[in-house]
Structure formats: structure tokens, C-alpha cells
Copies of this chain bind each other. A is one copy, B any other.
Amino acid sequence: MKLGEGVEAAIHCAATLASVEGNSTMPGAALAESFGLSPSYLLKHLNMLTAARILESVPGPAGGYRLARAAERITLLDIVLAVEGREPAFRCGEIRRNGPVKLDASAYVKPCGINAAMLKAEAAYRAALAETKLSDIVATYAAEGDPRSLAASCAFVERHQRPQKPNPTTKV
């Protein structure tokens, strides 16, 4: 069981974008630089977040990314599912049917108990992720993070964020 590195990048980027003021945006290249990531590859993950309506993107110069809704309404589960996909980690192959004795399909109408137990555990995992909001991450960082790190992040955001024209159609 393993999560791709994109999850870590996506959460960090989303947390950074939560610090961007108003409807300003931040270019993907700046986000990549902010965490020492490959820009081309990070865009793939940011794209996943955009497709999942977690981020909004603005093309053109002075464009970039911003949160699609308030950080209070974005959970870690939203981000993880957007990047890793919505399929459960445990996929039942129904190998119980593959024995030497072939039974009628009616013998397997009841769901596999092993699958049920695994999915139940995964539901607990997702519930825990759903409990943590992006705003919690940011708040914890602001409250407990090192002041130097905090100052550096704020300066970086300040330097790279770009104000947008008020746009009625995309306005929150």
C-alpha cells in the first residue's frame, strides 16, 4: 500500500494557495519552485485538482491557480481522491470463485466477507481524511510552525501572487 508522491505535493500546493489573497492566482511554476518540484510533472497533479473542482485555473499572463472554494470546504479526502483516484485500495478479485469446483453464480450473491471488512477499514481511513480541512492544516501551520519558515512562505506567496480582474462569472 503506497500513495504517490503527488499527494504530498498537491496538499502542500493547496495549503499554499489558501494563503493567496482574494481571487488572486499563483502560477504553477511558482508552486513548483516553492517545493523544489519538477514543474512539468507538478502541473499534472494540479490539473487533477482543477478537474476535481478543488482548484480553478486562469490562463494567460498573470494567470495561475487559486482555490475553487474556501479552505474550510476542502478536505484532505477531496485532495487525496482527486490525485489518487476514487477507487478503493482493496480490489476484490473474487478469487473465491476460482477454485477447482465450479459452482453456480447464485452461490456468490452474498458479498465476500473479506472484501466487506477491507472496505470498512478503508471507509474509516476516508472518514479520518474527511475530518481534516485544508483550513485546519493552514491554521496548525500558522500556530505551531516555525516563524522563520512561516515568514519565508508568506514572502514567497506575496511575491508570486497575482491579482485578477473581478470576474462576475467566476466570482465566489
Contacts and interface: CB of A to CB of B under 8 A. Distances in A.
Contact of A99 (B93, B128, B146, B152): B152
Given A2-B2, A114-B11, A132-B121, A100 B33 contact: yes
Majority-rule SS of A interface residues: helix
Closest 7 CB pairs of A and B: A36-B98, A121-B128, A125-B125, A124-B128, A107-B146, A35-B95, A113-B140
Interface of A: 1-3, 5, 7-9, 11-12, 15, 33-37, 76, 80, 84-85, 89-93, 95-96, 98-101, 103-104, 106-110, 113-114, 117-118, 120-129, 132, 136-137, 140-141, 144-146, 148-149, 152-153, 155-156
A156 B99 CA distance: 9
A121 B34 CA distance: 26
